[in-house]
Amino acid sequence: MSILVVGSVAFDSVTTPFGEADDVLGGSASYFSTSASFFTDVQLVAVIGEDFPQQHIDFLTSRNIDLSGLQTSPGKTFRWKGRYEYDLNEAHTLDTQLNVFESFKPQLPENFRDAEYVFLANIDPELQLDVLQQVRNPKFIACDTMNFWIDGKREELIRTLGKVDILIINEAEVRQLAEEPNLIKAAQIVRGFGPRTLVVKRGEYGILMFSEGSTFAAPAYPLDEVFDPTGAGDTFAGGFVGYLAATRNLDEANMRKATVFGTVMASFTVEKFSLDRLKELDHRDISDRYRKIKLLTDFADLDG
């Protein structure tokens, strides 16, 4: 079962305490698609400029990602430049050049409109709504957003949230969106906007998932080396939604498994810059790390 993703394809320039990389492949749709492609086929909708190299097209195509919806427009591809200090949970943006992404209007190819599984990556909530008007009968819709849209287009964002099943955002964004400092109370408020499930990304502290009558916590995988956290959240979403689409099972137990698979995929991403670590992966690596995360939280029942 393929997944439709609408988001950004970009060039990233990143500096961390452990190195730097210039003009490497990035963007929410790139990370999501590559991660999800380990579980199922992906249909990607995004925009690139005339400067986008063929080698990146070839890589995405090699992952069984359908690029029929990848638009090429006159001009340059979206660029982002950022720096991380030793607190790798926070990126400091140094430069953003929207370029062709500034006028991006998602147009779904006809065969993409029948998508049953949809992921709306971090783009203008008005564009997210427009995408939802183009798909015919989605079974499952997940989305992401960020503080910029929470501040600048709150009403439009809340309208979008009324149409989605799962929202995947970070801890600070949950509090900001709910206007409530307590995370548990904030999660209840956000779920009241429409999503039946809220997945909260907490960086090195793992994941919290809130649904009706249930809260689930998954730890982050402890790593010896972390080089670049860019794209970790989108990679998590790709693994999470990819597993759900592959299994076609949205019950509580399977959602919890999907959360761990998302965590596994994110843990690989941060081990190298850009998508370099994901390019080396195979399914055995993913299964092995899934089992290791399970052992992290395995403990005996209380006697008596």
Q: What is the pLDDT of residues 254-301, one digit of tens each?
A: 999 999 999 999 999 999 999 999 999 999 999 999 999 999 988 888
Residue 303 has pLDDT above 80, yes or no: no
Nearest to 265 by CA among 26, 58, 32, 7: 32
What is the average pLDDT across 110-131? Answer: 97
Looking at residue 155, its pLDDT comes to: 96
Q: Work out the pLDDT band at 49, boundaries 50, 70, 90.
A: very high
DSSP alpha helices (H): ranges in the chain? Answer: 28-36, 54-62, 125-134, 147-152, 154-161, 171-178, 183-191, 232-247, 252-269, 276-280, 283-296
* pLDDT tens digit sequence for 161-190: 999 999 999 999 999 999 999 999 999 999
Q: Work out the pLDDT band at 241, boundaries 50, 70, 90.
A: very high
The residue ranges of every structural domain in the chain are 3-296
* Residues in CB range of 32: below 8 A, 6 or more apart: 5, 7, 42, 119, 121, 234, 235, 237, 238, 241
Q: Are 176 and 150 in contact (CB under 8 A)?
A: yes
- Rounded CA Rg of the chain: 18
Does the domain made of 3-296 have the CATH classification 3.40.1190.20? yes
| Residue 217 exposed, middle or buried by CB count within 10 Å (0-12, 13-18, 19+) | middle
* Amino acid found at 144: D
* Amino acid found at 209: M
Residues above pLDDT 70, as percent of the chain: 100
Looking at residue 204, its pLDDT comes to: 87
Question: Could you tell me the pTM of the whole model?
Answer: 0.95
